[in-house]
Structure 1
């Protein structure tokens, strides 16, 4: 008899379902880089340089000299690490400056920075401890885990369907105690479909029942609404009670944030366990995120991204590919799992990295390649990507 864990068997099961993943070392974080198989302690052996259309570094700021200088200054003036929880001695002027800028950008009274966007979601939902969470069916895993940990009950409504949300709330209201606390949670931009939540309609439905609205702007911060996100683009700052996001995508750093009124932030810094019991975000990360936010707000970097997105979408659709969404995330739908994996593999042979996304991450029959361009991709980069999709699509038989 054994009470241990047969992890090799679990790995074999993942392999059988085409779900086993492997680490791959990137030489740099840039539109073009070289990759190596997991060296497992040895020196990586990098191959030829490849074009990366798989990064969440949407504005291409991760290797921007201005952001790098800001990170270096943060390290030199404050330190490489916060040294402790923010509530102990880890609260620095760099954190406060970033939080002030985030609050201004989000049209909020105050902001609070967490060690990751995942920690922000889990910690916030757990701290609020809602009786019921109404959650979009395609919300990110961090929201799902936050609901599992912190919500007494979770009701999932149809994706981007405010009418179904309202119907679910009506059903719940029929037998609910008036003292129940309800939270409606949705991403603003969905990372696998590239679509946008109908936030105004979601807010309308929530208001009918006196529920709070929480919006995760992970894939929107820095790209819409003068850098704020979809909430700012739609003019909803005063209708969304809890605004979240990450610093690790368009802002090219690490960490997450929550923005809202003074009472919300003051409560979270006392009650969100993922904040209270975590070492503060490193000062270089905070300083880098602040500079990236400034660039996003004060320059036309996002316009460069949108030009690239338009060219790619038009080129892919003209070839005959179906491209979902309406944002900078371009899901190229293939359908069959095997075809998607083969297409991604053949693209790499042409020097282009665009990952295959297959079930259970997406529904059966909806396997796709997730194309994520950066503002720093050149015209030649875009042309090479489109040429690769044309050639490989014919090779695989999906065009």
Structure 2
């Protein structure tokens, strides 16, 4: 009988041969520092003896370790329950979910918001529910956006990264097709606002200008911006574009120190997603402790000083890295130190790790060949001594491997 299964050993061997095989390395906590285990496969992990500084997390404001956020999660678990128990359209909707969505809508300047079980579910569910005829997508958009376009069976037109001129040219070409016979099509422009691997920021105002000229809608993924900019919002809020962006999406799992995703927009948009987004309708609701933690984290981001402390750390770290002659990309809290060769990047990351700083190498296929990098991200909770220790680790490791 023919074997119609899968050769998993060959797949794993190929990953190893190409230096692409990855493994889990659990830590004892999610914070600016912690103890980490060596990859252990199916064995029980054994934590290393040395505490390491973490400069690789999306926990930008350091709020996973904040007592107020933890207390909110505990209170929700004790009062409402540890899980939603069902889809929110059945019995899984609670006042904790409603409160979170109210605060999100207020922060994002929209009529309503809707919380999903993950950011991935929010992107895939929203795009698939809208079923746009054509999606114009930045070439570096997140995988969940790409998968949403596939699920919606939309024709996808990719434009150059953060290039409004390239987008406009793509819109013009589509409008001219078949002598203007595209008037009945629905068009959606989708972009991240802050790109997670490059740290770049999309030119949202120029994108909105192009969209309005051609009658397209704009959807912005604020996963790596929510909580960090004006009044705890994202780039949309920083640039005052709430009335020009029809769909604002984001996550609760990064700066908001929890789990889940959200979409914010008009009441009509949210009502449609409530009924048509399969990733919402057919998923158990966000766990109440996660919703409560995110709501409290958003309150802290809006009314505390954590955002200011983050940006001070970002400026100090960028200045220090560039003063060594390292090439640092990006315009956000994400600081990609571009090395180029993948083996050089991996050697530098290993040297940094030996000095108790966690900042892994990012290499192809995650990023293009020749642009391997160390993705460095400070947190608001890093002290000045932590920033100095990170810079010293870069300098020592860089000299050791011959990059400085």
Which band: TM-score by shorter chain? over 0.9
Deviation at residue 19 of structure 1 after TM alignment: 1.2
User: For the residues of structure 2 that align with 1:312 and 1:177, how far apart are their CA atoms?
Assistant: 49
Deviation at residue 148 of structure 1 after TM alignment: 1.2
User: For the residues of structure 2 that align with 1:264 and 1:105, how far apart are their CA atoms?
Assistant: 17
- The 8 Å contact of residues 232 and 301 in structure 2, kept in 1 or not, is answered as yes
Residue 239 (str. 1) matches residue 247 (str. 2): no
- The 8 Å contact of residues 24 and 40 in structure 2, kept in 1 or not, is answered as no
Q: Normalising by the residue count of structure 2, what TM-score does the alignment of the two structures yield?
A: 0.98
Residues 60-88 of structure 1, C-alpha deviations (whole Å, 9 max, x = no match): 00011110000000101100000100000
Deviation at residue 41 of structure 1 after TM alignment: 5.1
- The 8 Å contact of residues 125 and 151 in structure 1, kept in 2 or not, is answered as no
User: For the residues of structure 2 that align with 1:83 and 1:357, how far apart are their CA atoms?
Assistant: 38
Unaligned runs of 5+ residues in structure 1 are: none
Deviation at residue 12 of structure 1 after TM alignment: 1.0
- The 8 Å contact of residues 135 and 155 in structure 2, kept in 1 or not, is answered as yes
- The 8 Å contact of residues 74 and 284 in structure 1, kept in 2 or not, is answered as yes
Aligned to 1:222: 227
Unaligned runs of 5+ residues in structure 2 are: none
Aligned to 2:202: 197
Q: Normalising by the residue count of structure 1, what TM-score does the alignment of the two structures yield?
A: 0.99
Aligned to 1:28: 29
Residues 275-299 of structure 1, C-alpha deviations (whole Å, 9 max, x = no match): 0000000000000000000000001
User: For the residues of structure 2 that align with 1:171 and 1:177, how far apart are their CA atoms?
Assistant: 11
Aligned to 1:270: 275
Aligned to 1:66: 68
- The 8 Å contact of residues 23 and 41 in structure 2, kept in 1 or not, is answered as no
User: For the residues of structure 1 that align with 2:366 and 2:41, how far apart are their CA atoms?
Assistant: 27
Aligned to 1:147: 149
Deviation at residue 330 of structure 1 after TM alignment: 0.3
- The 8 Å contact of residues 191 and 219 in structure 2, kept in 1 or not, is answered as yes
Aligned to 1:285: 290
Aligned to 2:89: 87
Deviation at residue 347 of structure 1 after TM alignment: 0.6
Where do 1:66-145 residues align within 5 Å? 66-145=68-147
User: For the residues of structure 2 that align with 1:348 and 1:290, how far apart are their CA atoms?
Assistant: 34
Given candidates 378, 390, 398, the residue that maps to 1:385 is 390
Deviation at residue 44 of structure 1 after TM alignment: 2.2
User: For the residues of structure 2 that align with 1:354 and 1:209, how far apart are their CA atoms?
Assistant: 43
User: For the residues of structure 1 that align with 2:42 and 2:364, how far apart are their CA atoms?
Assistant: 32
Deviation at residue 177 of structure 1 after TM alignment: 2.4
User: For the residues of structure 1 that align with 2:155 and 2:44, how far apart are their CA atoms?
Assistant: 49
Q: Secondary structure at the match of 2:137?
A: strand
Deviation at residue 40 of structure 1 after TM alignment: 4.5
Q: Secondary structure at the match of 1:259?
A: strand
User: For the residues of structure 2 that align with 1:39 and 1:368, how far apart are their CA atoms?
Assistant: 25
User: For the residues of structure 1 that align with 2:402 and 2:126, how far apart are their CA atoms?
Assistant: 46
Structure 1 stretch displaced more, 37-46 or 224-233:
37-46
User: For the residues of structure 1 that align with 2:202 and 2:323, how far apart are their CA atoms?
Assistant: 27
- The 8 Å contact of residues 54 and 355 in structure 1, kept in 2 or not, is answered as yes
- The 8 Å contact of residues 258 and 294 in structure 2, kept in 1 or not, is answered as yes
Given candidates 255, 263, 272, the residue that maps to 1:258 is 263
User: For the residues of structure 1 that align with 2:30 and 2:46, how far apart are their CA atoms?
Assistant: 17
Moved over 2 A (4+): 37-44
- The 8 Å contact of residues 133 and 151 in structure 1, kept in 2 or not, is answered as no
Q: Secondary structure at the match of 2:250?
A: strand
User: For the residues of structure 2 that align with 1:37 and 1:339, how far apart are their CA atoms?
Assistant: 21
